[in-house]
Amino acid sequence: MAQAAVPTASPSDDALLAGFAAGDVAALDELFRRYRGVAYQVAYRLLGHEADALDAVQDGFVNALRHLDRFRGHSSFKTWLLRVVSNAALDVGRQRRRRDTWVTSPPADDPGPVDPISPPDGHLDRADLRRLLDRALAALPEAQRRTFVLHADGGLSYREVADALGISIGTVMSRVFYARQKLRAILTDQVFP
Amino acid sequence: MNPPDPSGPDGRLPRLAGFADGELDDQTRKQVAEWVEADPTAAELLRDQEQLTPANTEFWAAVAPPQPDEATWEAVRRAVADRLTPAEVDTPAPTWGDRAWFAAAAGVALAVLAAWLAFGRLGPPDKATEPPVVQSTPTPREAGDPLAEFAVLELAGPDDVLIEAVSGDVPAGGYAADSPACDPMPLAGPDDVTLVGVRPGPRDLRPSCGLCPKPGDAPMIYAAGPRTR
């Protein structure tokens, strides 16, 4: 008779954080494994660049875990982490813009219209779709983009986004609505005909 | 009841986002449902919102970011761990053999400390137990040093020194031997020096003690040697 596998409950975030505070390297590894994907997703959407997103993930994890005392009791670790990761991503984005501007051209407050992507066969593949969304997101105001990404890619509820950004749920709702309106307008012809 | 104007200033438009995301309370959701049913423009705006909700998994899967491979993730994890706990991460836990070695070393260290406390520190003051005066060589000079160009800083010889007045007894043999460094030279004390215009400093020259007579505070003459830069 086959022996049934005994399910092992994974440790809670609180238990892992306590282990990390006590110097348990395995707890840090598990926290990283648990949230690296969603942190990367948020950072990538805010930056549109894989290497920059990984830099933001690294900075975000380090800063979130260094300043745990600022979050305890106010939100979940995921909410805290995504807040810090999104901060780090926006910082990386600003540094990149300054670097690019210094090398190429004077700064532009308005990124201007988003150029459509025109594949030779007229059919957008996944990479084309992703690039188009990245450009559309980049055209949003920073606060709107961050709010939308924390909800859509971070999987945070309106309440959690409000907690993460220190704004009201009404403001979250408004930013998400207008962000979608703008994205929809940009994506209409090629993604949502 | 007149259909609501979705572009009106009543702030109801954002509720379409909350409705699409299932974030509204029961009462508000019911109000928005009635509004959408009665107003085709609101219904169209709601469809636009619904296309970009997380529930549209087909769209979000199509635009998913490129995923890093495991080697990349491992590099990021290691960087995070190194920045957070540089002394602990990836250091193997001590084995029982290591622990026994540490225990033996700690025992020896404790025994040495106890012996020093019992026979050294608690015993009568002895000149031999005083900390020796450490004579260190001068540190290499900075680039702005006017003497930096000299490879060796020479000692003054007898011909370079003119002694005009000596306070106290002259030691046997006098001061002016073949070399000023071959005989003991008494250090100058408070009686040999007249301080003029001394400003009270934080600790170096206090009027209460004049020149501190501790050997470590006395001026030193260093042997000449090659200067390394």
Q: If we measure between CA atoms, which residue out of A17, A21, A143 comes closest to residue A76?
A: A17
Residue B125 reports pLDDT greater than 70? no
Here the contacts of B134-138 (C-beta below 8 Å, separation 24 or greater) are B135/B220, B135/B222, B137/B222, B137/B225, B138/B222
- Looking at the DSSP bridge assignments, the partners of residue B152 are B226
**Better pLDDT: A24 or A190:** A24
Contact A157 B90 (CB under 8 A): no
Q: Which of A173, A182, A192 to mutate to test the interface with B (most CBs of B within 10 A)?
A: A173
Q: Helix crossing, A126-138 with A25-47: angle to 10°? A: 80
The whole-angstrom separation of Cα B126 and Cα A30 is 60
| Residue pair A75/A164 in contact by the 8 Å Cβ criterion | yes
B200 inside 8 A of chain A by CB: no
Structure tokens at A66: 């260094």
**Better pLDDT: A124 or B166:** A124
| Residue pair A181/A174 in contact by the 8 Å Cβ criterion | no
Length of chain A: 193
Residue A155 has a pLDDT of 96
Judged by phi (left if over 0) then psi (alpha if -120 to 50, else beta), residue A138 lies in: alpha
Chain centroid to CA B16: how far? Answer: 53
With a CB cutoff of 8 Å and minimum separation 6, the contacts of A54 are: A40, A43, B68, B72, B76
From A109's Cα to the closest Cα of chain B, the distance in A is: 26
pLDDT in tens, A3-31: 555 666 789 999 999 999 898 999 999 99
> For a pLDDT cut of 90, what percent of chain B falls above it?
30
Q: Which of B48, B69, B74 to mutate to test the interface with A (most CBs of A within 10 A)?
A: B48
Structure tokens at A37: 């994907």
Least confident of A96-105, B90-99, B114-123: B90-99
Please calculate the CA angle A44-A49-A50 and round it to the nearest 5 degrees: 75
Residue B207 has a pLDDT of 45
Residue B89 has a pLDDT of 42
With a CB cutoff of 8 Å and minimum separation 6, the contacts of A26 are: A19
Residue B138 reports pLDDT greater than 50? no
Structure tokens at B10: 């009543």
For residue A25, give the nearest of B62, B68, B89 by CB distance. Answer: B89
pLDDT in tens, B34-93: 999 999 999 999 999 999 999 999 889 989 999 999 999 999 999 999 998 644 444 444
- Looking at the DSSP bridge assignments, the partners of residue B206 are B210
Total Cβ atoms within 10 A of residue B6: 19
pLDDT in tens, B171-207: 555 554 454 444 555 666 667 666 666 555 444 444 4
Contact B48 A157 (CB under 8 A): no
From B108's Cα to the closest Cα of chain A, the distance in A is: 29
Residue A96 has a pLDDT of 86
For residue A173, give the nearest of B18, B54, B59 by CB distance. Answer: B18
Structure tokens at B125: 């003051």
3-class SS of residue B226? strand
Q: If we measure between CA atoms, which residue out of A184, A79, A150 comes closest to residue B16?
A: A184
Nearest chain A alpha carbon to B44: A181
CB-based burial of residue B172 (10 Å sphere; 0-12 exposed, 13-18 middle, 19+ buried)? exposed
| Residue pair A28/B80 in contact by the 8 Å Cβ criterion | yes
Residue A64 has a pLDDT of 95
3-class SS of residue A180? helix
CB-based burial of residue A154 (10 Å sphere; 0-12 exposed, 13-18 middle, 19+ buried)? buried
From A3's Cα to the closest Cα of chain B, the distance in A is: 32
pLDDT in tens, A112-157: 556 555 555 556 678 888 888 999 999 999 999 999 999 999 999 9
Residue B212 reports pLDDT greater than 50? no
Per CB-CB distance under 8 Å, the chain B contacts of A192 are 51
For residue B18, give the nearest of A54, A155, A158 by CB distance. Answer: A158
Per CB-CB distance under 8 Å, the chain B contacts of A158 are 18, 21, 23
ipTM reported for the complex, 2 dp: 0.83
pLDDT in tens, B6-23: 445 457 999 999 999 999
Mean pLDDT of B135-150: 52
